[in-house]
A = this chain, B = another copy of it.
Amino acid sequence: MAADTGHAPPPAPGLFTDRYELTMVAAALADGTADRDCVFEVFARRLPFGRRYGVLAGTGRLLEALPHFRFGDTELTALREQGLTDERLLDWLAGYRFSGDIAGYAEGDLYFPGSPVLTVRAPFAEGVLLETLALSVLNHDSAIASAAARMVAAACERPCIEMGSRRTHEEAAVAAARAAHMVGFASSSNLEAGRRYGVPTTGTSAHAFTLLHDDERSAFQAQVDTLGPGTTLLVDTYDIDDGIRAAVEVAGPGLGAIRLDSGDLPTLATHARELLDSLGATRTRIIVTSDLDEYAISGLMAAPVDGYGVGTSLVTGSGAPTAGMVYKLVERDGVPVAKKSKDKVSVGGRKHAVRRHDADGIAVAEVVSSDPIAPRDGDRDLVVPLVQAGVVCDDVTPAEALRRARAHHEQARRALPQEAWALSRGECALETVNV
């Protein structure tokens, strides 16, 4: 924590908040409703068009942030400067510390329309304050995880490498690398994701490194001298055939991998494999990058490719950059409440949820109900306690939380029916049944 690298301005998670949350708290403190016992629920009304399932991600990041979601001098001064001068509000904020309960789906689990992925029970004022932070984290991370899971499925057993940092906000990049690793990406280019979450990081060189040198061969030589012959050489700066020949000459047939970053990848990969084999580099792997998404990955299934580097489409959710989850008050003093609207359906009352499985352990339905659900064989309770009386239940390191979410995702995913893996647009893999 070297002081010289402290990024100004200081972070202030309490202000990752929409102003209306504070004006609501102010008004509720004034009329005595701030303490009413409330239940807020996070859910998605629908999945992105044609998607078969969603992946819940971000819960761990939210739990990391929660203890720091406070209002100190910096925040209170900022609020005054923005005209939020109600003294009762500011006093209350100064003492704010979330004291309620949070339950939800385990991070990495799948979700479907209406799945109650997060439930916050707290006095109104305490619970309403968390809306923006909770949704920011869950909507972003779930969008990335949901897209990434499709890429991992399309790649079958071949490794996917996350390299999208430069295509998204610098902090979102770290969260994206985390979400991708959760659903099975092997590694990331993002060094901060390595530091915070233990995501394995990889990467060797860009075209700039070749262009820096007088010729391609000197660049390869420099890279091999420093990183060893097991490195990945980027061979498409000038002529790919010349590049591959130079790469094998410099590194020897034990060259780790080549990377192709342009052109018609199925054709090029096939050609590169033949050339590498003819040069004796039969175990040199071929990594492809260049605007890949789940469809392009799937289209390369027949090509001799050993790994996929994915950037833009991953960090932008492959067409669905946000998960569309909402944070709704569903219960107040034990009474179910809901907005009446034809186009934005909400169901009042705190929800229970189980995933129902058949005798072979294959998931068949997402059962959601405001009443307790009579258990059947093969049901898995989806809602687990996360925070009790303001204290995070399972206070593990960020890296350990990610490891657990990765394992949980793998398990949940294995139970999905076969048709869930189709990339084509279709129905949700599981129907949400309201009982």
Contact = CB atoms under 8 A, between A and B. Distances in A.
Interface string A315-343: 11100011010011100100001111111
B27 A72 contact: no
A133 B191 CA distance: 12
B340 A239 contact: yes
Contacts of A238: 339-340
Nearest to A124: B212
Contact of A3 (B4, B23, B72, B316): B72
A60 interface: no
Interface stretch (A149-157, A170-178, A297-305, A422-430): A170-178
Given A16-B165, A68-B7, A82-B201, A343 B27 contact: no
Contact of A139 (B10, B167, B171): B167
B169 A68 contact: no
Contact of A172 (B165, B172, B226, B327): B172
Interface stretch (A28-36, A269-277, A356-364, A372-380): A28-36
Interface string A195-232: 11000011111111101110000100111011100000
Given A165-B132, A208-B328, A2 B73 contact: yes
B18 A191 contact: yes
A24 interface: yes
Nearest to A38: B212
Interface string A392-424: 000000100000000000000000000000000
Interface residues of A, number: 122
Nearest to A344: B262
A426 to B, nearest CB: 23
Contacts of A171: 16, 169-172
B11 A7 contact: yes
Interface in A23-75: 23-24, 26-28, 30-31, 33, 36, 38, 40, 64-65, 68, 70-75
Contacts of A283: none
A322 B239 contact: no
B28 A65 contact: no
B31 A221 contact: yes
B75 A2 contact: yes
B124 A17 contact: no
B191 A20 contact: no
Interface in A288-315: 312, 315
B68 A5 contact: yes
A72 B4 contact: yes
A132 B166 contact: yes
Interface in A66-107: 68, 70-75, 78-79, 81-82, 86
Which interface residue of A17, A65, A78, A338 has the most chain B CB atoms within 10 A?
A17
Contact of A322 (B22, B168, B212, B343): B168
Given A19-B203, A136-B167, 8 more contacts: A15-B195, A16-B170, A17-B190, A18-B190, A20-B204, A82-B194, A128-B206, A169-B175
12 contacts: A4-B70, A6-B68, A18-B203, A23-B204, A38-B212, A65-B170, A139-B167, A140-B169, A167-B322, A211-B329, A262-B339, A263-B341
